[in-house]
Each structure stands twice: as C-alpha cells, then as structure tokens.
Amino acid sequence: MASLYHSSLPLSPPSSSCHGVLSLAPRTAAPFVCLCRAPPQDNHDAELLGALQSDGNGSLLREHPASAKVLESGSAELGDGSGGGRRSSQAQLRARDCARRIMSLPMEERVKVLDLLQRDDAALTISDYNDIISALARGGDYDSAVALFRALEPNGVVAPDAHSFAIAVQCFCRKGAPDEAKETLDEMVARGHLPSVAAFSAVVGCLCKRGRVTRAMEVFDTMRAVGSEPTIRTYNSLIGGLCYVGRLEEARDLLNKLKDSPKQTADIYTFTIVLDGFCKVGRTEDAMAIFEDAIRMGLSPTIFTYNALLNGHCKEGNLLKAYDLLMEMCDNDDCPPDKISFSIVLPALLRAGEISAAWKTFKRMEHAGFEADSRALDTLARGLCRQCAADISVLKDAKEVFGKVVAAGHEPVSYTYCLMAQALARGGEVDAAVAILDDMVRKGYALRKRAYTDVVRALCDRSRTHDALRVLAAVITKDFVPGRNAFDALLEELSRQGRWPDAMAVYGAAVKRGVVVSLKRHVKEALARDQKKEEAWESPAQLCVP
C-alpha cells in the first residue's frame, strides 16, 4: 500500500537536514496555508497575534518579497541552490502558519497551543505536533489536521506515533472518508502500532454508515486478530450496517450471539437497531418478537424503540395497533410519547379516515404539551366536518380545530373552508356559515356548489330570503355560476312567500346563466299550498252553519 505521508500537501516537520523550519514536500498542489479556511481576526488576543508575527523562536519575522511570493503562489523557490539538505523545489513554511488555522479555534484550544507556537521549530516533538493536530481536530478543521499528519515523515526526526495515527483515523471518520480511515488503520497496524478499541470502533461505524459492511467485517476480524475485544458500540455499529444493507437475518443472528455471550451483553440500543430494521421492511411481527425478548431480559425500552414500532405498524397499515401502543405509552410514566410519536400516528390515522381515533390522539397530544402541524390540523378539521353530516355533536370539535388552524397563522385550504361552512349550516349556525362564505369570496377562493347551496337552503328554511339573495348575488359577482339546487331553494321560498316579482327575477338570473330551473313547478306547488289553506279555512265555517 502506498504510504500516506508522501502526499501532495506541502507541510512536513523538521528533518535532520533542515533544522528550525518546517520543510515543504515537492509542490504539486496549493500550499497548506491555502488549503485551510481563513481564520477570523481577534483583536483582543494580543499574545496570539504576537505569535503570528514571530518566526517561531521569539524574534520578529522579516519577510522579503520572495518568501511572500512563496506563500501566495507556492511556486517560488528559496535558498541559494547549493542543496544544504533541501530539494530545489522546496520552500519554507514555519510553524507560525499553523497559528492562522488555530486562530479559528475556541479560546481554550488556542491557549493550549500558544506556547508551542513560540518555540523554535526544531524543538517541537511528536507530542507537540499531536497537540496541534488534536487542537485542529477538536476545532472541526479536519482537513488541516489531516494535512499536518500526512506531512509527518515516518523515517524523519519527527515520525508519527500511535497517537498521531489515532487522531488521523478519527479525523477521517468525522470527515466521512471511510476508505482513508481504513487505510490509515491498516498502515498503523503494519508499522507495529496497536490501534485502540475506539479507533477500531470508529472505522467500523464509519464504514457501516455508508453501507460498506464487507470492509467493516474485515476491520472487525482484524480487531479480534490483534487481541482487541470489540465493545457493545462496535457490535451496534456492525449490526446497524447489516440492517442498513438489508441483511436482517445476519443482524438477528449476531444479536442472538450477543445475548448468549459472557463477555458482551446486548443493550436496548442493540435490540432497537434490529427491530427498527425489521419494521422498515414491513416485518413488524418479527420486530415485536425482538421487543418482547428485550422486555424478558429486563431492558427498558426507550422512546426510539417505541417510535420504531409505531412507524412499523403505521407503514403496514396496522393503525389500531399503533394507536393502542401510543395510548399505552401515554399511560406509561417511565417512557411517555414525544412529539415524534404523535407525528407518526396522527397523520396515519387521518390518511386512513380514522377520525375518531385521530381526534383522541390530537387531544392526548395537546394534553402532553405538543402542537400538531398545520397540515395535520387542516386534515383533522375536514374529517370532523364530514362527520357532522352523521353526528352534529361533532361540530363543536370541528370548530375548535378550525379555530386552532386559523390562530396558528395557517390559511386553511378552500376545501376546508367549504366543509366548515356546510357543517355550520347543518348545525344551525347560519350566520357563522355566511361569514365564512363572505371571507372566501373576499379572498378569491373557489366556492364549492354544495357549500353555498347548503347555506342558501339553511337561510331559506329560516325564511331569510334577503340574506339568501345576498349570498347568491355575492357568488354571481365573483363570476361563479350557482348551481340548480341553490336557485331552486330560493325560488321555492320566494314562491311560498308569494313574492312573485322577486321569484321572476331569480328565475331570469338562472336562465341568463344557463341554469335550467322550473318556475312552473314552483307556481303549481304554491297554488296547491294556497288551495289547501283555503280548504282548511272554509272547513270550520261550514261546520258552524246551523
């Protein structure tokens, strides 16, 4: 395997042929100072700013144009060309340049390496370099830390040790570079350094997160071959990787081996990883069996365990099982549901039309101090409004949810407005229904024919023809064509009241807009009603004639 140290990054520690400076490897890429992020200036840190102006041994640096050109372009050469242990393509880059990257670190990290920056470069040991690399890593500048590690010459005066390799492995893992992390780990073992359990576990976890389970198994085998006992974290990472790539049976077999192992014991997170994998592929029965095994072992399920099961039940369509499990969690003080738990079950119930269960879930969610998102509230309001057709007592709940949607600043969709107006009209709250229609017309929403028809009919049933005419006129004004039922309801009431001129005007408006209505039918019905009234009026008089 090619060495990691002879890379294109230029920074390297002092060697026996060049003391007091950090020598540069052949320049095939931009200098190290150009690869790091630009640090922010801190005028309050006088000591560190002073260190930036020194040349590594306390004296002020007197840069000449040639050296400045080297730092900017990375292509100039320093030296007299006579060799002196330096290659002709090398340049000088002192330890002060690392301080520019360290300027971006937290104050504690800057203070920690401040003394190192003021020393002579030749006096820096591998421990000092490890402190600088570690500070860069803790500050999140993994690229700079890796660049400095790669610049360490394995056969030079300052060679990387086991701690250097361990830091580099962690940096590669946090960067999301599993292949580089494994190569560094392999070279660490090849050079006689024993990696720590944390280093092995980090590489296994990084590989598994990207589905590289085969390579993770190689690292796992190497770990056991060198005598390092895997921890439960290592097993959890490996089991998670197996579930990630769909090798669920292997993951369950590894879990069963852990259950019988005298050295390591599976924890609740191990069980959660496996049952979550089964839930994601629709095998909730197997997941429930694993869950029951965890309970029998005396483990306490976490919220992640319950949420995985809830998600599995909802994906399989077992909504009542998910609802029962959620209610069980609500009654469990040890592990109550969180917002994610409710957010899994509530939308699933709404999609399936289980409005009653969704309403109870919403009330439990509200009691627990969580707020449902506006989309779920909108859907719940529509479901409750539809139920008003069969059970008008649900209108109170529908009004509550609709009010919460509006109060939350979320504009209900047009369909929700129409259903709410219909529900209010059926429930006898005609004025509120008219107000909602007026609001919709003002906002330019599309009106459903059934919505304003129900409102017009409710107004006519209460002999409020004036308000019914106003609603119909508002609909026509917005270029909406009312339906036949709305005209029929108004014509029937006007004819009942004997207001024939108004009835003729409404009939003309309907014909003008292509709506087919029958005025003759309403006239016959009105005459029939008048005749019945006359008969009812004459009948008692005839009985009184002596």
- Return the DSSP state at 60: B
pLDDT given at position 248: 93
pLDDT given at position 58: 36
Range 240-260 burial, b when 16+ CB lie within 10 A, else e? bbbbbeebbebbbebbeebee
Residues in Cβ contact with 38 at an 8 Å cutoff, skipping those fewer than 6 apart? none
Residue 177 dihedral angles phi and psi, to the nearest 5°:
-115, 80
- Residue with the bigger pLDDT between 320 and 48: it is 320
Nearest to 436 by CA among 469, 474, 409, 462: 474
- Residue 71: pLDDT over 70: no
- Residue 17: pLDDT over 70: no
pLDDT given at position 292: 93
Confidence of residue 24 (pLDDT cuts 50, 70, 90): very low
Question: Mean pLDDT score of the chain, rounded to an integer?
Answer: 76
d(CA 227, CA 223): 7
Question: Could you tell me if 270 and 235 are in contact, meaning their C-beta atoms sit under 8 angstroms apart?
Answer: yes
pLDDT given at position 151: 82
pLDDT given at position 465: 84
pLDDT given at position 60: 32
- Residue with the bigger pLDDT between 526 and 338: it is 338
Residue whose tokens read 């969690």: 329
Residue 212 dihedral angles phi and psi, to the nearest 5°:
-90, 60
- Return the DSSP state at 43: T
Q: Is 407 helix (H, G, I), strand (E, B) or coil?
A: helix
pLDDT tens for 29-41 read: 333 333 344 444 4
Question: Could you tell me if 88 and 77 are in contact, meaning their C-beta atoms sit under 8 angstroms apart?
Answer: yes
Task: Pick the range with the lowest mean pLDDT from 61-70, 191-200, 205-214, 442-451.
Answer: 61-70
Task: Pick the range with the lowest mean pLDDT from 87-91, 149-153, 232-236, 273-277.
Answer: 87-91
Q: Name the region of 265 (left: φ>0; alpha: ψ -120 to 50; beta: rest).
A: beta
Residues in Cβ contact with 465 at an 8 Å cutoff, skipping those fewer than 6 apart? 459, 490, 493, 494, 497, 499, 502
- Residue 164: pLDDT over 60: yes
Q: Is 431 helix (H, G, I), strand (E, B) or coil?
A: helix
Q: Assign 3-state DSSP to the chain and report helix, strand, coil percentages, each to 5.
A: 65, 0, 35
Confidence of residue 45 (pLDDT cuts 50, 70, 90): very low
d(CA 426, CA 424): 5
Confidence of residue 115 (pLDDT cuts 50, 70, 90): low
% of the chain residues with pLDDT over 90: 24
Residue 122 CB neighbours (<10 A): 16
Residue 441 in tokens:
């017309």
pLDDT given at position 528: 65
Q: Name the region of 336 (left: φ>0; alpha: ψ -120 to 50; beta: rest).
A: beta
d(CA 474, CA 456): 12
Range ranked top by mean pLDDT from 307-311, 418-422, 423-427: 307-311
169 burial type by CB count under 10 A (0-12 exposed, 13-18 middle, 19+ buried): buried
